[in-house]
């Protein structure tokens, strides 16, 4: 056993009184979610993406005394800076839910400052990645020659747990998982907080020929307060990308209406879409809702935007 592994094992068996108190329960804040990365596939910094942002998938949820992070794309780095600035040396007890291990959902992890502070705990939950096991996949991107510090060497107590059940709890927050239609093992999550439910499907296609599967998705999402879903393509682009595992805007709006979702956030913006295109897709989605006389609110997810729960957007 190497030193890193034994350090980790030691902290895992630490006495209960040494376990950090969840910070949010000590400093109650209004329940909210915040977008730290909204882009799909690859980061897209530059002048054409300043409005919606170029970092890849990462959403922070604070509710019921928990800080729950949804995916670890490059937006995770900014969240880490914020957490360290906000909580300084107070211990953090964080939970990261991974939908899958494609690069745009894990690349922020090596740059997440809280894992470099010994007082912090990070529990990473997800399903088996690419038959190698979640831990092997996550540690792999931090092995030499890709990165100088191994995941098992970081000072924080990082625990990786492979999920077997499709329903589990993060503190008082009940979480349900649902298989997504996307290459490899990929899921979406629905979090039931005391301030409403949030569903997160960053990578998902709604194949038009699979009506039964889509019907299951409607049931899974029924009555969701905030749905964050892959809308990478408009209808025309989708025709060229059928089977790629990403969402068509028209289909996602139809699904959200059918499932009586209250608020939909367009997510996983295509790296080739500039701000004007994303705004145009938002406007088009709103037209679709108006044409159906729906009550669904639609926003394109924007890096840095906060949504108070029950849903209300702040810039
Ligand atoms: Zn993705
Ligand atoms: Zn993916």
Question: Is 197 a domain residue?
Answer: yes
CB atoms under 10 Å from CB of 129, counted, come to 22
CA of 269 to the centre of ligand 2 (A): 12
Residue 2 falls inside a structural domain: no
CA 102 / ligand 2 centre spacing (Å): 5
Asked whether residue 36 is domain-assigned, the answer is yes
- Listed residue (34, 102, 106) closest to 246, CA to CA: 102
How many Å lie between the centroid of ligand 1 and the Cα of residue 89?
33
Q: How many CB atoms lie within 10 A of CB 141?
A: 15
The reported pTM is: 0.90
Question: Is 4 among the domain residues?
Answer: no
Domain span holding position 252: 28-310
The per-residue pLDDT of the chain, averaged, comes to 90
Number of domains in the chain: 1
pLDDT at 212: 81
SS3 8: helix
Q: Residue 274's pLDDT band (boundaries 50, 70, 90)?
A: very high
Look at residue 213 in the predicted model and tell me its pLDDT.
Answer: 78
Give the distance (Å) from ligand 2 centre to CA of residue 285.
23
Determine, yes or no, domain membership for 225: yes
pLDDT 10s digits, 114-161: 999 999 999 999 997 656 789 999 999 999 999 999 999 999 999 999
Instruction: State which residues have CB under 5 angstroms from ligand 2, the bound ion.
Output: 102, 203
Sorted by sequence, the CB contacts under 8 Å of residue 269 that are 6+ apart come out as 38, 39, 40, 52, 232, 278, 300, 301
Residue with tokens 């039964």: 212
CA–centroid distance, 40 to ligand 2, in Å, is 8
Whether the per-residue pLDDT at 82 is higher than 80: the answer is yes
Q: Is the confidence at residue 4, as pLDDT, over 50?
A: no
Whether the bond into 251 is cis, omega within 30 of 0: no
- The model's pLDDT over 204-215, given as tens digits with 9 standing for 90+, comes to 999 888 888 789
Task: For residue 17, tell me if it sits in a domain.
Answer: no
Residues with CB under 5 A from ligand 1 (ion): 40, 104, 203
**Domain presence at residue 190:** yes
Give me the pLDDT at residue 251, please: 96
- What is the CA(20)–ligand 1 centre distance, in A? 32
Band (pLDDT 50/70/90 cuts) for residue 313 is: low
Provide the Cα torsion 215, 217, 223, 229; round to 10°. Answer: -130
**CB atoms < 10 A from the CB of 237, how many?**
15
Domain of 267, CATH number, reads 3.60.15.10
Q: What's the rounded Cα separation, in Å, for the pair 136 and 32? A: 32
Q: What is the whole-number distance in angstroms between the Cα of residue 241 and the centre of ligand 1?
A: 14
Residue 20 lies in a domain: no
From ligand 1's centre to the CA of 27, what distance in Å?
33
What's the gap in Å between 38 CA and the centre of ligand 1?
A: 10
- Which position has the higher pLDDT, 20 or 105? 105
Give me ligand 2 centre to Cα 162, in Å. 18
Distance from Cα 88 to the centre of ligand 1, integer Å: 31
Q: ∠ CA(125), CA(129), CA(131), 5° rounding?
A: 135
């Amino acid at each position: 056993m190497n030193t890193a592994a034994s350090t980790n094992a030691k902290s895992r068996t630490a006495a209960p009184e040494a376990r950090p108190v969840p910070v949010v329960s000590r400093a109650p804040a209004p329940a909210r979610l915040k977008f730290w990365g909204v882009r799909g596939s690859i980061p897209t910094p530059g002048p054409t993406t300043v409005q919606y942002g170029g970092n890849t998938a990462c959403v922070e949820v604070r509710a019921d005394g928990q800080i729950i992070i949804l995916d670890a794309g490059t937006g995770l780095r900014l969240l880490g800076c914020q957490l360290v600035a906000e909580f300084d040396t107070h211990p953090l007890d964080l939970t990261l839910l991974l939908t899958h291990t494609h690069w745009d959902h894990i690349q922020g992890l090596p740059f997440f400052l809280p894992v470099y502070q010994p007082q912090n705990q990070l529990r990473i939950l997800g399903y088996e990645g690419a038959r190698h096991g979640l831990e092997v996949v996550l540690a792999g991107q931090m092995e030499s020659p890709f990165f100088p510090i191994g995941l098992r060497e970081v000072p924080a107590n990082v625990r990786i747990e492979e999920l077997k059940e499709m329903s589990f709890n993060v503190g008082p927050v009940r979480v349900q998982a649902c298989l997504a239609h996307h290459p490899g093992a990929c899921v979406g999550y629905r979090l039931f907080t005391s301030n409403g439910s949030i569903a997160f499907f960053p990578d998902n296609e709604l194949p038009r020929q699979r009506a039964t599967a889509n019907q299951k998705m409607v049931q899974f999402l029924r009555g969701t307060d905030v749905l964050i879903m892959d809308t990478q393509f408009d209808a025309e682009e989708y025709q060229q990308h059928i089977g790629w595992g990403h969402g068509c805007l028209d289909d996602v709006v139809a699904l959200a209406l059918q499932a009586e979702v209250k608020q939909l956030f367009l997510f996983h913006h295509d790296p080739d879409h500039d701000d004007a295109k994303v705004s145009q897709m938002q406007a088009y989605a709103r037209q679709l809702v108006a044409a159906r006389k729906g009550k669904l609110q639609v926003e394109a997810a924007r890096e840095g935007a906060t949504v108070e729960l029950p849903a209300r957007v702040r810039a």
